[in-house]
Chains A and B, each alone.
Chain A
């Protein structure tokens, strides 16, 4: 059974800092790994999806990496802004079924 863990559970940093969010998964037989952000009372916004054959994906100030062999993914946020404050979730897909989510990292960017 796939288990996804995210560290840290919460993070507060000053505006402008670069930061890394960590995600680990127990079953390396994944199809892809997806990073989302969730704002309070809202749904999930997809940020990046990394296929199992890929090592990383980039979108603007965000970069996500995937190391299947070690069961790890990281989300790197460059030059953080207050608008980046949200809960960040990673989720692993084993195939034709649903995603397995971590509990998220609650991120606060201090102005």
Chain B
């Protein structure tokens, strides 16, 4: 009964490269959330997706960031042309039916930009 799986656990990129972060929700969960934790700051909501749909992307930076949750396969958070300020821990969470259910978190991807 696997939990939320994120990979890679650690990712190093040079400025200007692309970063792809993957998240497989818990079995049976169709709601996926992405959060970012910057050093010395709390977790900030980025985007909420259901299968093939973006429900709320109000926390997503307007440029360079995108997210998808295809019908088959994991959810992907994509960061284009990374900059040093993108260095953070990125967490994915999933839930069963949305708002009234608890969100279960993965162990995160630590992104470092050289």
Interface SS majority for chain A? strand
Q: How far is the CA of A41 from the CA of B100 in the complex (A)?
A: 28
A43 surroundings in chain B (CB, below 8 A)? 4, 6, 91, 105-108
Query: Are A93 and B105 touching (Cβ within 8 A)?
Result: no
Interface SS majority for chain B? strand
The reply to whether the CB of B65 lies closer than 8 angstroms to some CB of chain A is no
Query: Are B102 and A34 touching (Cβ within 8 A)?
Result: yes
Query: Are A100 and B102 touching (Cβ within 8 A)?
Result: no
Interface size on B, residues (CB 8 A): 29
Among A51, A89, A98, A104, max chain B CB count under 10 A is at A98
Query: Are A96 and B42 touching (Cβ within 8 A)?
Result: no
- CB A24 to nearest CB in B, in angstroms, measures 14
The reply to whether the CB of B69 lies closer than 8 angstroms to some CB of chain A is no
Tell me the A83-111 residues at the B interface (CB within 8 Å).
89, 91, 93-104
Interface size on A, residues (CB 8 A): 27
Using CB atoms, name the residue of chain B closest to A97.
B56
B99 surroundings in chain A (CB, below 8 A)? 31-32, 93-97
- CB A51 to nearest CB in B, in angstroms, measures 7
The reply to whether the CB of A46 lies closer than 8 angstroms to some CB of chain B is yes
The reply to whether the CB of A49 lies closer than 8 angstroms to some CB of chain B is yes
A100 surroundings in chain B (CB, below 8 A)? 45
Given known contacts A34-B102, A96-B56, A96-B98, is B45 in contact with A42 (CB within 8 Å)? no
Query: Are A51 and B104 touching (Cβ within 8 A)?
Result: no
Contacting residue for A98 out of B4, B45, B102, B110, CB 8 A: B45
Q: How far is the CA of A4 from the CA of B33 in the complex (A)?
A: 19
Contacting residue for A46 out of B6, B46, B102, CB 8 A: B102
Q: How far is the CA of A34 from the CA of B99 in the complex (A)?
A: 11
A36 surroundings in chain B (CB, below 8 A)? 105
Q: A97-B58, A98-B47 are in contact. List 7 more A-B contacts (CB 8 A).
A: A4-B42, A32-B99, A43-B6, A43-B91, A43-B107, A44-B93, A101-B35
